[in-house]
Structure 1
Amino acid sequence: MHMLNLGILAHVDAGKTSLTERLLHTAGVIDELGSVDAGSTRTDTLALERRRGITIKSAVVSFRIDDVTVNLIDTPGHPDFIAEVERALAVLDGAVLVVSAVEGVQAQTRILMRTLRRLRIPTLVFVNKIDRRGARGERVLRELTERLSAPVVPMGVVTEPGTAGAAFTAVRPTAEDAVDVLADHDDALLAAYVDDLVTGEGIHRALVAQTRRALVHPVYFGSATTGAGVPELVEGIAALLPGAGGEADREGPLSGTVFKVERGPAGEKIACVRLFSGVLRVRDRVPLGDDGRDRGDGAARVTAINVFDQGTDVRREEVRAGEIARLWGLVEARVGDRLGEPRDERRRFFAPPTLETVVVPGPGVDRRALHLALTRLAEQDPLIGLRHDEVRQETSVALYGEVQKEVVQATLAADHGLTVAFRETTPLCVEGPVGVGAAAEFVKKGDNPFLATVGLRVEPARTGSGVRFGLEVELGSMPYAFFKAIEDTVRETLGQGLHGWQVTDCAVTLTHCGYCPRQSHAHQGFDKSMSSTGYDFRGLTPLVLTEALRRAGTRVHEPMHRFRVEAPADTLGALLPALAGLRAVPRATEVRGTRCVLEGAVPAARVHRLEQRIPALTRGEGEWESGFDHYAPVALGTPPERPRTDDNPLDRAEYLLRVTGRVAN
């Protein structure tokens, strides 16, 4: 028996949770179908999911197809919860992309297919809702090719679409159906076709091979409601998608990924893990790391293991390569952590959140309890980006969109009994250095109260490069722990630049360093007042780095979203002024018969308002698609400022008073 970790992905309301229910029913895991509308589905367990009829958190459920055990991961379709999809992609062997036969290819469909193809995840397409009025199979096939730029192969024919009797009959693709697509990646197949030597079996072998390499995408049609086409899809899942790896992987070194963190009934932390190689047993000690580096938390002992089996999860003594498990005992685990050996993991595929809001406690809500509850939420979703301001006693969270506010609000009320509101959502900007700046402070010189010498140079780096830290001093010139303290403090300090925003796309170089060796008075032990410690380097570095930033100068950049609007051509006259009024800049305009397509860029802060106006501007016929594209310098007015939450190294006297308890002489 082999394993397959399968993701179900779709634009919201395409029917993927209903398809999950139908797959479980077809596999015999459940006796009665759950309903999204009734809030009775197996994978939507949160109260808000049941109330809103949308998936918010990824859920894992298992079933068997002959000798294949499938761990099925139902992911959110709403773009506000794209982070949940991102984490699921890191553990998938294959995917089913669900498309509505009525609405066709939608905004999120395009984003998901582009990502699946970029990551080369083998993907089948299931065109759902063929029984609904307005279902249009042939048109959806054209959209898959034209709008997704995806090579697709239909796996059968639909009869009576748009009626309750709609059905799908599987038919093996013939040379006429598939050779144009398959021959693009198979010269031998093309030569055989030219010589009239292609057989049906040859076409099938090429289809299987290219599907497993994510070169082509077989398309099935059906209805999750009636069950039409689902048995054929199940056969395709087992026959066309690759497994999670063989027995050999179990002999390799331990390597896995934490893709989800939950809390149990008693508040205990549960880490959901995909194991890529090795075997993990109860009572094993597991090193945790992030981005291929140990975090310094040490190894944690696994106290219990549950694996998924036939619709539930069961206790086991071990988890093997290829499996997904829930682990107890990893109290320091965070989403994105790797277990054991580093590997070439799929990491950030979607843009980070570009919006931020302040959480306002309701009447009688204890701020400390609220902070603890938000910390737990951030632990389950790192992209929430929790930010606490001790001075103002305020906590901010990062967001993808307005729906996330409702989720945070409902979760705090249901799980913690805390009522909250939110301030107006604002864009999450970044800063970048404009020029080159350098600064240095030397031990026992000037008004430097720290037993440390630190010199730093800051300069711009290429867009998207993040922060690079380098040395112009000998690594052996002082203890390594001091170099580590400087680098860690540099990265932490860059979280708030001259205007309070995170500083990115820069190179920071250590140009000077020095320390006081370990000293003591006669016949006495170590004296910290005479010897450098990590405290000295952590205290001095923010002052030096901030001064270097001040000399380099920084510019604030706001997040910009790319957008695409498809609407009736006669609404173009209303669309263009509205776009201009919200600072959207069209870059391309194309008229296709009675339809027009506009593409361009708009500030993230204006996306929600513009999205709300599109229906009225286009008589309800406009299709809106947007997503983060880049950061652009704030061109109008004074750059936005963000309140600081650190010890404010911009004000030397204030900083020294907070850090050392005294001001410089």
Structure 2
Amino acid sequence: MATLNLGILAHVDAGKTSLTERLLHSAGVIDVPGSVDDGSTRTDTMALERQRGITIRSAMVSFAVAGVTVNLIDTPGHPDFIAEVERALGVLDGAVLVISAVEGVQAQTRVLARTLHRLGIPTLIFVNKVDRAGADPDRVLRQITDRLTPYAVALGRVEAAGTPAARWRPYPIDDPDHTTRLVDLLTAHDDALLGAYLADERGVTGARLRAALATQTARARVHPVHAGSAITGAGVDDLIAAIAELLPTGEGDDEAPLSGTVFKVERGPAGEKIAYARIFAGTVRVRDRIRYRGDQEAKVTALAVFDGGDAAPAGSVGAGRIARLHGLTDVRVGDPIGVAPERSGGRHHFSPPTLETVVEPTRATDRPALHAALVQLAEQDPLINLRQDDLRRELAVSLYGEVQKEVIEATLADEYGVPVTFRETTTVCVERLTGVGAAVEWIGKDPNPFLGTVGLRIEPGPVDSGVAFRLGIELGSMPPAFLKAIEDTVRETLHQGLHGWSVLDCVVTLTHGGYWARQSHAHAVFDKSMSSTAGDFRNLTPLVLMAALRQAGTRVHEPVHRFRLEVPADLFGAVLPVLAGLDAVPRSSLLRGGAYLVEGEVPAGRVHALEQRLPSLTRGEGSLEAEFDHYRPVRGPVPRRPRWDHDPLNRKEYLLAVARRVTARSDR
């Protein structure tokens, strides 16, 4: 049976999880749809999800329709949990973007739609809640074509919108107005269809248009729009039929070398790791030894696939399917399995977290338990970027927003029994190079106490290029283990620049390298004092790199969000001074009807304050969309982040710390 890996995406409260329940009910998987309000849904399994009525972690269920097994991934809608959505995107064959018929296109809707378009993921649009008071499907359809994509087409109409009797009526295949709209849309991407229509418009039948619609939908060129109600079930059967007809199923060669990616990790009842992986090619079997993360290897002790709503044990899983794997004890989210696939759940499609906070246990004796709990949470969500400050005995996590902080607090208390408090949330800045720097320390020459020669040059790289490490020496001139030690240490050291922030977008070149070969006395006794080790290069590299970095210089940049603010026209003058007080810079303003649409930039650290003040400023009528756009140089005092290890910029302190560390290891 063919497999379709389908994502359900939406702005929070658009009815995404309720739609998942209705799809399962209509497909015969469950007898009664669960309720978000009652906490009885199949996909919101966490106690916190049931209490809050929101999805926090992606969950999977499955159903069969028209000979296709649909693996449905229900993703969070709240922007604070966008990392969960990101991990699902890399494994999807298609998506359903859910939009409320009452609220219409919202901030997160636009972010998701742009990302789906950029990744070329075939997408259907479902306008939900047509039975609610205030529902206006026609207005929402106009918003879709204006704000999301001009290549959207409604495949029916809603009757009695805004009432409990609201229903979806698909257009007949020979409806002349609908045929005209389809022709206009589809011929923009299909010259053969355009030629056939110009030659004889009667020869372009409804069946041919439907086939062309399926082809172009599968290529993510057009986006069919359905509407209905997840609560009453209106329009859901037609949506299911469209999912089977218009979205492409997963493809892959079962006989090819194994290739997949891990997009979700959770813990089982006994604390064991369970990895969710999309298999793009090849077949994985129970008891197979498979490679992951490049050089790790482990035996698969158990497998499960999703069938009929739940995960069922399986002996093997082939290409195109999603598997639950047991036995990969060190696996992490984003790890490739076998041959790294071109599509990867580890790639970043959304902006990284721009906020950070220090987590402190309420009881001092809980510090070890807190660390263990945060390590497990970081396995499930690597973007929380757990950072341990050994000098101050502090643990910090990265955040997308305040709601995520509340969820982490509740999870630690409820699931791990560790009550915590948080310090004030701060903005995560970055450093960019302002010039080029170079430094070298020679083996056997003061002031270098290590048995190695390291020379490094650091220079700016293109924006968003990351950290590139290059060899300026001959590849065979040093043992691979020493080269790896230098590269790994370079990347680790750049997490803390001259001001304590990560250094972005630079090129580091190894310009000099040297070592003393292994020396031994009689009877082959190894003499460490005369032989270079990888440890020499791990200890020396931070000194050389930070000297080069100091010569190059860095400037601290803060994250900036692009905002779109809609306010009543009579309050526009009152809102502008507030924006100025929050360092927001309006770039444009447009009067539309009785409201002003203001677009501009605002520092990431001020977005939450703007969200809090907006309701009182605008009588509750204002709406705000904000998303990360770029980093800009900090204006005013330069913010510093304390280092969480010994500072290689302070040579004396650093060397004393290294000596203590080496002594402690030798005493063990």
2:228 matches 1:222? yes
Shift of residue 309 of structure 1?
1.0
Out of 477-486 and 268-277, give the one that drifted further.
477-486
Equivalence for 1:151: 151
- Percent identical pairs in the alignment equals 65
Question: Contact conserved, 1:656 with 1:662, CA < 8 A, in 2?
Answer: no
AA aligned opposite 2:645: D
Question: Contact conserved, 1:150 with 1:217, CA < 8 A, in 2?
Answer: no
Question: Contact conserved, 1:365 with 1:418, CA < 8 A, in 2?
Answer: no
2:51 matches 1:51? yes
SS at match of 2:49: helix
Cα distance in 2, alignment partners of residues 43 and 365 from structure 1? 35
AA aligned opposite 2:236: V
Shift of residue 365 of structure 1?
4.2
Equivalence for 2:324: 326
CA offsets per residue over residues 322-344 of structure 1, 9 Å max, x none?
11111110001000001001121
TM-score, length of structure 1 as denominator length? 0.97
Cα distance in 2, alignment partners of residues 524 and 198 from structure 1? 86
Shift of residue 364 of structure 1?
4.8
AA aligned opposite 2:601: A
Shift of residue 647 of structure 1?
2.2
Cα distance in 2, alignment partners of residues 379 and 648 from structure 1? 28
Cα distance in 2, alignment partners of residues 34 and 306 from structure 1? 24
**Partner residue of 1:344 out of 318, 342, 345:** 342
Shift of residue 12 of structure 1?
0.3
AA aligned opposite 1:236: A
Cα distance in 1, alignment partners of residues 591 and 365 from structure 2? 55
SS at match of 2:139: helix
Out of 520-529 and 446-455, give the one that drifted further.
520-529
Shift of residue 320 of structure 1?
1.3
Q: What is the RMSD of the two structures over their aligned residues, measured on CA atoms?
A: 1.3
Cα distance in 1, alignment partners of residues 32 and 303 from structure 2? 29
Shift of residue 523 of structure 1?
3.8
CA offsets per residue over residues 245-298 of structure 1, 9 Å max, x none?
1xx611111011100000011111111111111110011111112xxxx2x4x3
Cα distance in 2, alignment partners of residues 614 and 366 from structure 1? 39
Equivalence for 2:315: 317
AA aligned opposite 2:283: V
Equivalence for 1:646: 645
AA aligned opposite 1:29: V
Out of 504-513 and 169-178, give the one that drifted further.
169-178
2:408 matches 1:404? no
Equivalence for 1:482: 482
Equivalence for 1:335: 333
Cα distance in 2, alignment partners of residues 391 and 474 from structure 1? 39
AA aligned opposite 2:192: A
Cα distance in 1, alignment partners of residues 484 and 62 from structure 2? 44
CA offsets per residue over residues 546-603 of structure 1, 9 Å max, x none?
1111111111111111111122222210121111100001112222232211111111
Equivalence for 1:629: 629
Question: Contact conserved, 2:280 with 2:341, CA < 8 A, in 1?
Answer: no
Shift of residue 108 of structure 1?
0.6
2:659 matches 1:657? no
Cα distance in 2, alignment partners of residues 577 and 365 from structure 1? 48
SS at match of 1:203: helix
Q: 1:251 to 1:477 in 2, by over 3 A?
A: same
Equivalence for 2:452: 452
Cα distance in 1, alignment partners of residues 568 and 517 from structure 2? 75
**Partner residue of 2:261 out of 254, 257, 269:** 257
Cα distance in 1, alignment partners of residues 443 and 232 from structure 2? 77
CA offsets per residue over residues 61-104 of structure 1, 9 Å max, x none?
01111311110000000000000000011110011110111111
Cα distance in 2, alignment partners of residues 427 and 368 from structure 1? 27
CA offsets per residue over residues 113-172 of structure 1, 9 Å max, x none?
111111111111111011111111111111100011341111112111111111111225
SS at match of 2:184: helix
Cα distance in 1, alignment partners of residues 149 and 454 from structure 2? 53
Cα distance in 1, alignment partners of residues 661 and 443 from structure 2? 18
Cα distance in 2, alignment partners of residues 268 and 384 from structure 1? 21
Equivalence for 1:306: 304
Equivalence for 1:549: 549
Cα distance in 2, alignment partners of residues 443 and 179 from structure 1? 74
AA aligned opposite 2:656: L
Cα distance in 2, alignment partners of residues 365 and 317 from structure 1? 45
Equivalence for 2:665: none
Equivalence for 2:392: 392
AA aligned opposite 1:201: A
Where structure 2 has 5 or more consecutive residues not aligned to the other structure, the ranges are: 663-668
Cα distance in 2, alignment partners of residues 139 and 441 from structure 1? 68
Equivalence for 1:111: 111
AA aligned opposite 2:421: A
**Partner residue of 1:194 out of 191, 198, 207:** 198
Runs of 4+ in 1 over 3 A off after TM superposition: none
Equivalence for 1:269: 273
Shift of residue 201 of structure 1?
1.5
AA aligned opposite 1:300: A
SS at match of 1:60: strand
2:88 matches 1:88? yes
Cα distance in 1, alignment partners of residues 522 and 240 from structure 2? 80
